[in-house]
Amino acid sequence: MEPGFLLLVASLITSFSAFALFVAKKWELGEIFLYISTSTAFAALLLLINYFVTDTFSIWYVYANSNVEMPLIYKISAVWAGKEGTLLLWVVFNLLVTSFYINWGKKGEKKAKVAAIMTLFTTYLTVNILLFSNPFVVLPYTPPNGAGLNPLLRTVEMVFHPPVVFLAYSLSALLFSITLANSDGERTVARLTWIFLTLGIVIGSWWAYRTLNWGGFWGWDPVENASLLPWLTLTAYFHLTRGREYFVYLSFSLVLFATLVTRSGIISSVHSFGGEASDYSYIVPILLSLAPLISKIRNLSVSSLCNQNLPVIFLSAAVVVFLGTVAGVSVTVEKEYYLITFLPVFALITFLIALNIRRISMPTTLLHVGVILLFIGATSVWLFEDAETIAVTKNSTGDFSLLDLRISEDAEKYILTAFIQTPDGLISPEVYAYKVAGNQRVSSVEIIPALLWDNYYSIKDLDWEKGTITLEYYRVPLINAVWIGSTLMVLGVLFRFSGKSF
């Protein structure tokens, strides 16, 4: 039997044993089994990485996501390119953060409860891997080469984005467990969760803008929306004086909802994995994670919550995004819906933050200045971006002229480079045609920055015989405010990390 599969079986057995031992209050023995489970799951991840690095195409998952010609860094990032690898990464992160947590500070019954919840959840995920998403399925023969990684995933951002997102998801699970067990470190873990959720969204936005030829940083895609939802509710958590636990439970439920949306394909998305009936299994932990929220909802003081403006407004923003996302099951939800519903709420949040910006500490001021800049940049892009399709030919006498077309190649792709004179200067956008990915074509992005906007170019189409290039051009106003604002937000939380308030 395949060694990686056996390692996962061992991790499953020891994870469930750790859960049972923690529940039985045999804490020391439970801790030992937790470490064994962590070690075996981590060993399985390392083995999978080794299979990618050594081109072990007898493993179906390696064959489907890699090929001999791929650079080493992309072979490693291909480990988490599919749902099998990302689920394994999530299991490893769950066990790692649990192991670190129980060794942080004084051990006791409450920490054992946290570990019990985390190992039970991890057991559930591991069962899903073994039954439905096994990355160690062996082919009956060994192909000479792999099918290759999706060209859109052959980027530096792919190296960091999934690990950051799934570390945030594991920290969200840990935060849920700490709150449910009434254990120590809730606020610290909440801050860590918020930081990694924010970084995951920012890296994804940067990826969409700089690499994926979107002409923008946010497209209101259902998977993007699903990742925003727990960020909104967790941000509301920091502005509450009472009832914070409700937003912790809700945030973790929304993390699981994001997983369901991404894996099941229940809502059409450019990010989803497609979907099989087994991917709907995430409905079970969603319902279980909502149980403590529902059981405590009768104790919720609506009047005290409504007296706290920002949390209610953040919750309102989450509601309109959630409704727009789930509506995608049956209808197409256009960007205009979010501009009409979400943008006014975002404006109100920014207005209230601006009113109170002098009453708070310097790190928190830095964070809130970041929110204001993010609002200015995002609103400018969403409302005032110009888009144009431009046909460029050789020896044109207009503003755009195709100077030269060149073809080169490397081990994995053909590269067409167009040298085009534009009013903004000389650009050289490229088209990559991958040899082992069904000859799939991907256009690079050429960005010429100005003081208050970006001039954004990419190749939409080309006619080699006629010597014609069709360019997509976007004039993207104040986009740098998005990046600067996002950076200030993260820095503000990092500087305020040891404080008592957000």
Question: pLDDT, tens digit, for every residue of 165-219?
Answer: 999 999 999 999 999 999 999 999 999 999 999 999 999 999 999 887 778 899 8
Q: Which amino acid is at 410?
A: D
Distance CA 116, CA 378 (A): 42
Task: Please name the residue that has the structure tokens 């996501």.
Answer: 65
Tens of pLDDT, residues 226-285: 999 999 999 999 988 788 899 999 999 999 999 999 887 788 766 656 666 677 888 999
Within 10 A of 275 (CB to CB), how many other CB atoms are there? Answer: 17
Going by the DSSP 8-state scheme, the letter that residue 142 receives in this structure is: -
Q: What is the pLDDT of residue 79?
A: 98
Q: What is the pLDDT of residue 20?
A: 98
Instruction: Tell me how far CA of residue 184 lies from CA of 104, 146, 194, in angstroms.
Output: 10, 48, 18
Q: What is the pLDDT of residue 501?
A: 45
The average pLDDT across 430-448 equals: 83
Angle between helix 244-264 and helix 309-326 axes, rounded to 10 deg: 20
Note the pTM of the prediction, 2 decimals: 0.94
Q: What is the pLDDT of residue 479?
A: 96
Q: Which amino acid is at 236?
A: A
Q: What is the pLDDT of residue 502?
A: 44
Residue 298 has pLDDT above 80, yes or no: no
* Kind and range of the H or E run holding 62: helix 60-65
Residue 498 has pLDDT above 60, yes or no: no
Instruction: Tell me how far CA of residue 229 lies from CA of 206, 209, 324, in angstroms.
Output: 19, 21, 12
Q: What does the mean pLDDT of the chain come to?
A: 91
Q: What is the pLDDT of residue 438?
A: 62
Residue of 379 and 294 predicted with greater confidence: 379
- Bridge partners (DSSP) of residue 459 are 471
Residue 455 has pLDDT above 70, yes or no: yes
Confidence of residue 357 (pLDDT cuts 50, 70, 90): confident
Lowest mean pLDDT among 102-106, 374-378, 486-490: 102-106
Tens of pLDDT, residues 394-437: 877 778 999 888 999 988 889 999 999 999 999 999 999 888 75
Taking a C-beta distance cutoff of 8 angstroms, is the pair 20, 12 a contact? Answer: no
Instruction: Tell me how far CA of residue 193 lies from CA of 67, 130, 157, 197, in angstroms.
Output: 35, 28, 20, 6
Residue 301 has pLDDT above 60, yes or no: no
Pairing assessment for the beta strands 425-427 and 468-477 based on DSSP bridges: unpaired
Backbone region of residue 116 per phi and psi (left: phi > 0; alpha: psi in -120 to 50; beta: other values): alpha
Pairing assessment for the beta strands 430-434 and 441-443 based on DSSP bridges: antiparallel
Distance CA 5, CA 8 (A): 5
Tens of pLDDT, residues 302-354: 555 555 678 889 999 999 999 999 998 888 899 999 999 999 999 999 998 88
Strand runs labelled E in 294-363: none
Residue 124 has pLDDT above 80, yes or no: yes
What angle (nearest 5°) sits at the alpha carbon of residue 250, between those of residues 359 and 11? 120
The average pLDDT across 481-488 equals: 97
Taking a C-beta distance cutoff of 8 angstroms, is the pair 208, 214 a contact? Answer: yes
Task: Please name the residue that has the structure tokens 């404080």.
Answer: 499
